[in-house]
Amino acid sequence: MKFFSSNNQRPLEIFIHIIVWMLIFFFPILLSGDKSLSDINWLEYFRHVKMPFMFLIVFYTNYCFLVPHFLLKKQSKKYILYNFILVVGISLLTHLGDKPLNKRPPLLKENIEEKISRQFDNKEPDRNTQKQYFPSSRRKHFNRPPRWTFIMRDTILLLCTVGLGAAIRMSGEWSKAETALQEAEKNRTEAELNNLRNQLNPHFLLNTLNNIYALIAFDTDKAQQAVQDLSKLLRYVLYENQQTYVPLAREIDFINNYIELMRIRLAKEVEVSIHIHVPANSTVQIAPLIFISLIENAFKHGISPTKPSFISISIAQIEQKEVRCEIINSNHPKNNSDKSGSGIGLEQVRKRLELLYPERYEWKNEISENGEVYSSILTIQV
């Protein structure tokens, strides 16, 4: 059974426990001021620390045994019953054979004459001082409270010790449970990201092969060049996509190569404008292929063989804080017979954004009122 936390935290936790209990047990000695150890009545000292020793027993009985075996296992009735027996038994045992408080010797071996002499710098005290320190034998002794009041006091303190032990152990268990939950969530997120990567590679490849297939029909030379360009893109996809983040400059190079590959099959009437405002040596980190599905979507739905078409792509790095990708294209929705692409690209983008940039991105996409223009604006706080 593990009484303390993980191996990394255990030495520090044990050290804290030792320091706290040392302070509790040596507190009466600390109150003695500048007195030497020989001036302390050690027999009476051990009578003083008897109650802190009982606190220690109650604390660790709860911390190490009762809380993990009963309270954490939802057996509250047994936990309360055992603590009741423990507290009442220790409280009664502590006061059995205890001397009355008015007959106990002082903790320090010091008589009153020495105290008076030191206080008044060896001067003769007056009668009032003598009356204060040497009360008349005819004066009645101060009546101490009955013993049961001290038993009740110590019982309440023991109950507080029970609560303290339970609270510390429960907080530790809650902390471990929270850590385990975060670790499980992290593993789930990583597994989901890996799944998205595995989907993204064939999705990207499928769309690109469809473009090359269309190119073969009217220009084989360009198709061969496209296959060579595709091999470069796939090398980036296969290797860089295995990392969580890549430099933004390398991602921009990949996007430029992809756009040039797409230009091959475009008619001259299609207007494509690219605006990149990213330093060539930018070290800003970005999730790989996070923008490519948006660009694919623009080439898929923004081009018509019979109608005027345009695509405008703008990517900008705003200082070292944000990356903004704005895509505006003519809107030519595909019909159900068009099988170029599986339609999962934009859904993947949204899932990856939620996993990698939670509450750190803003994505607005809409179609104009006349249905002719589609716009997508993605801003990511890096």
Q: What is the dihedral of CA 342, 343, 344, 348, to 10 degrees?
A: 140
What six digits make up the tokens of 68? 């993990």
Say how far apart CA 296 and CA 262 lie, in whole Å.
Answer: 9
Burial category of 31 from C-beta neighbours within 10 Å (exposed 0-12, middle 13-18, buried 19 and up): exposed
Please determine, for residue 331, whether its predicted confidence score (pLDDT) is greater than 70.
yes
Please determine, for residue 116, whether its predicted confidence score (pLDDT) is greater than 90.
no
Picking from 337, 254, 359, the residue whose alpha carbon sits closest to that of residue 296 is 254
Helices 50-61/76-95 angle, 10° precision: 170
Please determine, for residue 125, whether its predicted confidence score (pLDDT) is greater than 60.
no
Say how far apart CA 326 and CA 273 lie, in whole Å.
Answer: 12
Would you state the pLDDT for residue 152? 81
Picking from 171, 173, 243, 237, the residue whose alpha carbon sits closest to that of residue 207 is 237
pLDDT classification of 322: cutoffs 50, 70, 90: very high
**pTM, rounded to two decimals:** 0.51
Please provide the average confidence, as pLDDT, over all residues in the chain: 76
pLDDT classification of 204: cutoffs 50, 70, 90: low
Could you tell me where the beta strands, DSSP code E, fall in the chain? 246-247, 271-277, 285-286, 310-318, 322-330, 361-367, 373-381
pLDDT classification of 308: cutoffs 50, 70, 90: confident
Say how far apart CA 309 and CA 283 lie, in whole Å.
Answer: 35
Would you state the pLDDT for residue 326? 96
- Helix locations, 120-219, DSSP H: 127-133, 147-216
pLDDT classification of 119: cutoffs 50, 70, 90: low
> What DSSP designation does 160 have?
H
Would you state the pLDDT for residue 104? 52
Q: What are 272's strand-pairing partners?
A: 311
User: What would the pLDDT profile of 239-268 be if each residue is shown by its tens digit?
Assistant: 766 778 889 998 998 898 888 877 877 778
Say how far apart CA 41 and CA 32 lie, in whole Å.
Answer: 11
Per the CB < 8 A criterion, the answer to whether 261 and 299 are in contact is no
Per the CB < 8 A criterion, the answer to whether 289 and 204 are in contact is yes
**What average pLDDT does this structure show over 10-38?**
66
Please determine, for residue 196, whether its predicted confidence score (pLDDT) is greater than 90.
no
Would you state the pLDDT for residue 139? 46
Please determine, for residue 161, whether its predicted confidence score (pLDDT) is greater than 50.
yes
User: What would the pLDDT profile of 41-100 be if each residue is shown by its tens digit?
Assistant: 566 666 667 778 888 888 888 888 888 888 888 888 888 898 888 888 887 777 665 555
Would you state the pLDDT for residue 207? 67
Say how far apart CA 317 and CA 327 lie, in whole Å.
Answer: 15
Q: What is the dihedral of CA 239, 244, 247, 250, to 10 degrees?
A: 30
Domains observed in the chain: 10-182 (no CATH), 243-381 (3.30.565.10)
Which sign does the torsion angle of CA 130, 134, 136, 139 carry? Answer: positive
Q: Which amino acid is at 15?
A: F
Would you state the pLDDT for residue 268? 80
Helices 147-216/248-263 angle, 10° precision: 30
